[in-house]
Amino acid sequence: MMVRRAQQAPCPKHWSVLLAMRYGCQGNHWEDFLMTKTNELLSSEALGFDPDALAQRYAEEREKRIRPDAETQFVQLSHDSPFANKYLEEDPYSETLERAPLKDQREVIVIGGGWVGMLTAARLSQAGIGDVRIVESGSDFGGTWYWNRYPGAQCDIESYSYLPLLEETGYVPKLRYSYASEIYEHAQRIGKHFDLYKDAVFQTWVTELRWLEDESLWLVKTNRGDAMRARHICLGTGPANRPRLPGIPGVEQFKGHSFHTCRWDYNYTGGGPTGNLAGLADKTVAIIGTGATAVQCVPALGESAKQLYVFQRTPSSVDVRNNAETDPAWAASLKPGWQRDRQKKFGEAFLGGPIDPAFVDDGWTRLTRNLKDLVAQSEERISGLAQIADFKTMETIRGLVDDTVKDPEVAEKLKAYYNQFCKRPTFNDFYLDTFNRPNVELVDVSASQGVEAITETGIIANGQEYPVDCIIYASGFEITSSYERRLGIPIFGVAGKSIYEHWQAGMRSMHGLMVSGFPNLFMCGGGFVFQLGANYAHGIDVQAGHVAYTISELSRRGIQSANVSLDAEERWIADQLETKGGGFVLGGSPDTCTPGYYNQEGTSKRYRNVRRETYSKGVGAYMKLLRAWRDDGQLDGLDLD
């Protein structure tokens, strides 16, 4: 990959050194010098890998996995689907309690009692709005941390930045990366601290939202026969509230035991979140999926099951965990404002800014670190270096597989060949080693683009039947599918118009929060926040504070109805379209990445106009923008009544 400098044609102006190298053209004198330096730095010998060969391998691996049915390959778990009861509505962790339907009125109804709903309610309470009811499908607060109790469940973002409201509740997590039970307990701590239990209703699914124009109120109907009214609605349903099943032929036929990871059946498996699944000692178990969830629960399954088959379509990148207990002296030294400061620094380190010492060994900053190293060595910022840094990062992660997995054939199958943020990175110190166990078999189903079929007694893959007692679906959630699919609540606004009709040509909003024709409705969290950085909990707190301000301001001014004007919606969309790099969901471009939920399963059809759903200037810019709107005090863009 060296540039031959004699008899070469000149490069077009502004070409990067990498382009020049690729096409063998020659730049000016200074560029020549840089090219030599860069050649040395980027030679296969110096790098230890051949970037061209890797690029080709990535493209081939992607091609192998592209399915024309994209998102429709999954079974939708709506409340009227035949699977809904088993995989969505049944709560394996609690008895269903009877209660009388509610027909009362509240200032605010928050739908969802996970981080988004709780943060919104907490910030509302701080802003003086106490008449808030949270409506939650689980039997307690926690949302994703209520439902996801599978063994090994853990948060991949460091706890000090991720767990919300630590300073307000006076809590410091026990570990650098918390396990799910500690996080779930923290949700209850927040609930008690902000007195959110008082008015909450649990075990309740909202079935319809309707704006009552004559009353300037929302009518909230639920599966419990409720018909509650509220001045304001905050949709805090979060990104992972709705599990999905792979649409494998025969999925409904299996007569053994099965469950989704977010409804873990400990009555069947025995044990608990720390493992010891004694009920599986005589069972042959299959797990379908190898995403972030499977990476965390496979070690416990491998330890306990008589036989475990892991059906893998695409390997995850599995980096080291580096967990540690919290140093009590450090915890005691924390000064007011520490959590916000830490969240800010985490965001900066992840997004390529300065790397605070606290994050130099955090897996989310590995790519930034590699890029900074290369930039420092190459003496000038060169655009193509980002790709080289990504190759380096993934080579290191692939190297971990070789270091851990003894069988080279199995190791090869476990290596991820795509850019790190094409798919959700994972971090675990036990997953790879599980494949050294004699009772664990990795079944690579990439050749058939997934498991071929499910029978009454087992799984068919690569033309072979695997008889199993239990199938565990680690097949993920409706995270980036259409909002209608992931939310599943019919919403009718002014003149009875459906929000999904309003979004026919793509989601529309102002600030990713309010929608024209749907007064007093706030979409908190959701896909929009993802672009704000890896720490979801930080992004949603930004929105929670803003929503709390807006509602308290409307209430203070005695305003009954605040409706975003179409013009304001258009202005926001125009701003989004101008935003550089705002064209894809999360990290993965559908054009170059292996498919997954980050890129709507590789679909290049941008039918949801995701530019309007995301904000890619980062959390800092978004915070600034919202702050300026609040400081202006005009409630700009809202038609007020």
> Which residue, 74 or 503, has its beta carbon nearer to ligand NDP?
74
Taking CB under 6 A as the criterion, the residue among 110, 129, 294, 382 binding ligand NDP is 294
Say if CB 261 and CB 473 are below 8 A apart.
Answer: yes
Q: Is 248 in the site for ligand NDP (CB under 6 A)?
A: yes
Stretch that binds ligand NDP, among 97-105, 229-237, 288-296, 583-591 (CB under 6 A): 288-296
Exposed/middle/buried for residue 446 (C-beta within 10 Å: 0-12, 13-18, 19+) = middle
Taking CB under 6 A as the criterion, the residue among 314, 393, 561, 603 binding ligand NDP is 314
Stretch that binds ligand NDP, among 208-216, 282-290, 322-330, 340-348 (CB under 6 A): 282-290
Q: Is 176 in the site for ligand NDP (CB under 6 A)?
A: no
Taking CB under 6 A as the criterion, the residue among 236, 450, 488, 618 binding ligand NDP is 450
Least distance from C-beta 245 to ligand NDP, angstroms?
8
Say if CB 565 and CB 637 are below 8 A apart.
Answer: yes
| Per-residue binder mask for ligand NDP (CB under 6 A), 483-512, x = binder | ------------------------------
Taking CB under 6 A as the criterion, the residue among 151, 152, 236, 246 binding ligand NDP is 246
Stretch that binds ligand NDP, among 287-295, 299-307, 345-353, 537-545 (CB under 6 A): 287-295
Strand, helix or coil at 74? Answer: strand
Taking CB under 6 A as the criterion, the residue among 3, 172, 288, 440 binding ligand NDP is 288
277-287: buried (b, 16+ CB within 10 Å) or exposed (e) per residue? bebbeebbbbb
Q: Is 155 in the site for ligand NDP (CB under 6 A)?
A: yes
Site for ligand NDP in 222-241 (CB under 6 A): 240
Query: Could you tell me which residues come within 8 angstroms of residue 524 by beta carbon, excluding any fewer than 6 positions away?
Result: 116, 117, 120, 234, 235, 236, 513, 540, 543, 544, 547
Residue the block writes with tokens 């600030």: 511
Stretch that binds ligand NDP, among 206-214, 468-476, 526-534, 575-583 (CB under 6 A): 468-476
d(CA 256, CA 469): 5
Label the pairing between strands 217-222 and 206-212: antiparallel
Evaluated on CA atoms 33, 34, 37, 40, the torsion sign reads negative
Q: Is 289 in the site for ligand NDP (CB under 6 A)?
A: yes
Least distance from C-beta 24 to ligand NDP, angstroms?
37
Least distance from C-beta 258 to ligand NDP, angstroms?
14
Q: Is 475 in the site for ligand NDP (CB under 6 A)?
A: yes
Stretch that binds ligand NDP, among 222-230, 381-389, 443-451, 633-641 (CB under 6 A): 443-451
Strand, helix or coil at 548? Answer: helix
Please tell me what DSSP assigns to residue 139: S
Least distance from C-beta 100 to ligand NDP, angstroms?
36
Q: Could you tell me how many residues of this chain bind ligand NDP (CB under 6 A)?
A: 27
Taking CB under 6 A as the criterion, the residue among 11, 118, 122, 445 binding ligand NDP is 445
Taking CB under 6 A as the criterion, the residue among 149, 345, 366, 424 binding ligand NDP is 424
Of 4, 474, 15, 519, nearest in space to 233 by CA: 519
Say if CB 362 and CB 158 are below 8 A apart.
Answer: yes
Least distance from C-beta 546 to ligand NDP, angstroms?
24
Q: Is 291 in the site for ligand NDP (CB under 6 A)?
A: yes
d(CA 307, CA 277): 13
Taking CB under 6 A as the criterion, the residue among 160, 597, 615, 629 binding ligand NDP is 597
Query: Could you tell me which residues come within 8 angstroms of residue 376 by beta carbon, excluding any fewer than 6 positions away?
Result: none
Q: Is 290 in the site for ligand NDP (CB under 6 A)?
A: yes
Least distance from C-beta 259 to ligand NDP, angstroms?
13
Q: Is 545 in the site for ligand NDP (CB under 6 A)?
A: no
Of 102, 97, 103, 123, nearest in space to 196 by CA: 123
Stretch that binds ligand NDP, among 210-218, 306-314, 363-371, 383-391 (CB under 6 A): 306-314
Of 314, 274, 318, 267, nearest in space to 295 by CA: 318
Show the 3-state SS of 553-589: HHHHCCCCCEEECHHHHHHHHHHHHHCCCCCCCCCCC
> Which residue, 393 or 550, has its beta carbon nearer to ligand NDP?
393
Least distance from C-beta 164 to ligand NDP, angstroms?
13
| Per-residue binder mask for ligand NDP (CB under 6 A), 102-141, x = binder | ----------------------------------------
Give the residues across from 227 on adjacent strands: 221
Say if CB 512 and CB 598 are below 8 A apart.
Answer: no
> Which residue, 291 or 618, has its beta carbon nearer to ligand NDP?
291
Q: Is 582 in the site for ligand NDP (CB under 6 A)?
A: no
Q: Is 145 in the site for ligand NDP (CB under 6 A)?
A: no
The amino acid at 174: K
Of 78, 79, 187, 105, nearest in space to 141 by CA: 187
Q: Is 638 in the site for ligand NDP (CB under 6 A)?
A: no
| Per-residue binder mask for ligand NDP (CB under 6 A), 514-543, x = binder | ------------------------------
| Per-residue binder mask for ligand NDP (CB under 6 A), 49-68, x = binder | ----------------x---
d(CA 253, CA 458): 10
How many residues does the structure list for the chain? 641
The two tokens of residue 525 are 């969290």
Strand, helix or coil at 151? Answer: coil
> Which residue, 156 or 199, has its beta carbon nearer to ligand NDP?
156
Say if CB 468 and CB 478 are below 8 A apart.
Answer: no
> Which residue, 73 or 105, has its beta carbon nearer to ligand NDP?
73
Per DSSP, the residues of 521-534 read: EEE-SSHHHHTT-S
d(CA 120, CA 195): 13
Residues within the interface to ligand NDP (CB under 6 A): 65, 155-156, 240, 246, 248, 288-294, 296, 311, 313-314, 424, 445, 450-451, 474-477, 596-597
